[in-house]
Amino acid sequence: MEITFLEHNRFLLKFFHSVDRDRVLESGPWAFEKSLLVLAVVSDNDNPAEVDLTWCDFHIRIHGLPIGKMTTEIASFIAAKIGRLKDCDSSKGPLSWGSFMRLRVAIDVTKPLPRVLKIRTVLGDEHTVTFTYERLPNFCYLCGKLGHISKWCDSRFQSVVCPGENSPYGPWLRAVGRGDSRTRFPQIREPQMQPPLARPRFTSRSHQTPALV
């Protein structure tokens, strides 16, 4: 893998095989020093410095639904409310999910993390569901946004609520088990294994300053 600095907090990563690139993308989200790295594929017609880096895939756990409501239809509905559904952990029915549903959803990282949602079924049943995130990097307990912590949040000067005191955000948004925030990429193939014409690329941005990877 080759890394080229483009501009402030933006880098171009070149992989020597599409298998490596896809494995990194599917294993995310990634972080550097606990700050989110946003990855996006770059095509031959794209300018890497202008590629949109506002969406990132997360494995999100959906809590609070009765087991009979854990369906792919409900999963798709919830995902559409908070982002873009990329994958369901299972399509075999409610018993395969257990106590929560697990979805892979692309969310807008410029907005506060979705944490709760009220839904109503076609039968009129109302449910309040909550979200936890696997491999969740640093985020602000005041505004709920990724990219900074409460200490550096602008809203700190406007709010009388201190982090941890009736704050709507906190460490409980981090899912326990199955995923973590390790930053180690999967083993990458060496350049000599690169076919002559295949050089998959994608660009990344870190929400930390500086971000050296």
Question: For position 161, what pLDDT does the model report?
Answer: 59
Q: Is the dihedral of CA 71, 72, 76, 77 positive or negative?
A: negative
Sign of CA dihedral 88, 177, 133, 183: negative
User: Does the structure show a pLDDT above 70 at 82?
Assistant: yes
State residue 205's pLDDT score: 56
DSSP 32-49: ETTEEEEEEE--TTS-GG
Domain architecture of the chain: domains with CATH: 56-173 (3.30.70)
Out of 34-48, 162-176, 181-195, least confident range: 181-195
User: 10 Å Cβ neighbour count for 13?
Assistant: 22
> Quick one: pLDDT at residue 83?
97
Res 42 pLDDT > 60: yes
The percent helix, strand, coil of the chain (3-state, each to 5) is: 20, 30, 50
